Amino acid sequence: MTIHYSVVWCGTCPIDTQILAIKHGHFSCSRPNQANQDIQFPETHNSPLHYYFTSQISVKPMAKVELRELGNTGLKLSCVGFGASPLGNVFGPVSDEEAIGSVREAFRRGINFFDTSPYYGGTLSEKVLGKTLKALGVPRSEYIVATKCGRYAEGFDFSADRVTKSIDESLERLQLDYVDILQCHDIEFGNLDQIVNETIPALQKLKEAGKIRFIGITGLPLGIFTYVLDRVPPGTVDVVLSYCHYSINDSSLEDLLPYLKSKGVGVVSASPLAMGLLTERGPPEWHPASPELKSACQAAAFYCKERGKNISKLAMQYSLSNKDIASVLVGMNSIKQVEENVAAAVELSTVGKDEQTISEVEAILKPVKNQTWPSGIQQS
């Protein structure tokens, strides 16, 4: 269906990318050079700001990512989540313009879930995300923010005292009064009994104080989730964030989903590209996967490229296809990355995924299916 809008074109922006719908005589330009401005529509073209002209044209409504319910929280998360670790310069420097542009474009395309941590970039990710969210100029209720506690640049500390101080520090960096989700970060590196008996009760007090809305836990080994959830009162933990366990090479999270659903726990899955394994470029040198797993993923990526397919897009769509997972979290730091991830999600919902190629890739990866790597300390 075609919708008719009264629009303006901004003379400083490429016309093919800058068609802006008028609302109540105002418009906001989403390009970086106009970020965070709400400009009165001029009565004449002699505006000191820019030259505009109006027209009646037909444009299609912008395709946005779908929203999914997160367990029993009542929150509806965008199926694609914005992983903000790259905003902490974890993968190279990111300018303020790039950061603001990527967050603005993500929000414009329906992404409402933003995840960060004080660990990412030594608190820089939280600071930059806070700045970019403020630049959106939208009501706080329109986006969902998750941050973490317990893991810091200086090491791990899951004590009640540290996590209680941690949220105040995070709120200041994020320029927020509360976060929607506070997660214990990579709990396999702490004592799980401390997480159960000290950390989570401290987070419950923060919840009662209105500083956080929901409690989560994160980590790599799937067994940590059942250990904690079996030892806390029902409804205490609202969210789990698992990573590298729901993609073409490793879908072991799937076996845990019925259990998590029975507990009323929402699920976020991160690293759909297995921390770089499922890319044409390949993983970073420090990647902890075995040589066998790296080699198999490299072969799968080459197979896709030879056939004009992109293994990263296939992996993203594979991860998005399970609707028991509320959001697939992927790191982003540019408008291009946002556009690619949103396009993959929209294509999946409208056309579907490439079942044949995915099946062929799964066959290549079968010898290493669900192979993972050690993470954390030995739990007694």
272-329 tens-digit pLDDT:
999 999 999 999 999 999 999 999 999 999 999 999 999 999 999 999 999 999 999 9
pLDDT higher at 237 or 20: 237
pLDDT higher at 35 or 67: 67
How far apart CA 112 and CA 311 sit, in angstroms, is 26
What value does the mean pLDDT take over residues 16-27? 38
Residue at 314: amino acid letter: L
pLDDT greater than 90 at residue 268? yes
Question: Which whole-number Å values give the CA distances from 142 to 77, 105, 110, 145, 284, in the listed order?
Answer: 11, 14, 10, 10, 35
pLDDT greater than 60 at residue 36? no
Question: Which whole-number Å values give the CA distances from 376 to 163, 170, 174, 219, 333, in the listed order?
Answer: 19, 24, 28, 9, 28
Positive or negative, the CA dihedral 205, 222, 220, 243 is: negative
363-377 tens-digit pLDDT:
999 999 999 999 999
Is 178 an active-site residue?
A: no
Scan for tokens 């009264």, then name that residue.
6
Residue 23: the pLDDT is 36
Q: Which helix (H) or strand (E) holds 347?
A: helix 335-350
Mean pLDDT, the chain, rounded, equals 88
Residue 231: the pLDDT is 98
Residue 353: the pLDDT is 95
Q: Which residue in 195, 266, 275, 265 sits closest to 243, CA to CA?
A: 275
Contact (CB, 8 A) for 6 and 56? yes
Length of the chain: 380
pLDDT greater than 60 at residue 57? no
pLDDT greater than 60 at residue 20? no
Active-site residue (options: 51, 52, 119, 120): 120
Positive or negative, the CA dihedral 170, 79, 82, 148 is: positive
194-228 tens-digit pLDDT:
999 999 999 999 999 999 999 999 999 999 999 99
Q: Which helix (H) or strand (E) holds 82?
A: strand 80-83
- Alpha carbon 345 to its chain's center: 13
pTM: 0.85
pLDDT higher at 191 or 33: 191
pLDDT greater than 70 at residue 44? no
Residue 312: the pLDDT is 96
pLDDT greater than 60 at residue 5? no
What value does the mean pLDDT take over residues 137-144? 97
Residue 379: the pLDDT is 75
Position 59 confidence tier, pLDDT thresholds 50, 70, 90: low
Residue 61: the pLDDT is 74
What is the distance between the terminal CA atoms of the chain, rounded to a whole angstrom? Answer: 60
What value does the mean pLDDT take over residues 141-156? 98
- Helix axis angle, 96-108 relative to 124-136, nearest 10°? 60
Angle at 19 between CA 13 and CA 25, to 5 degrees: 105
How far apart CA 65 and CA 80 sit, in angstroms, is 7
Position 62 confidence tier, pLDDT thresholds 50, 70, 90: confident
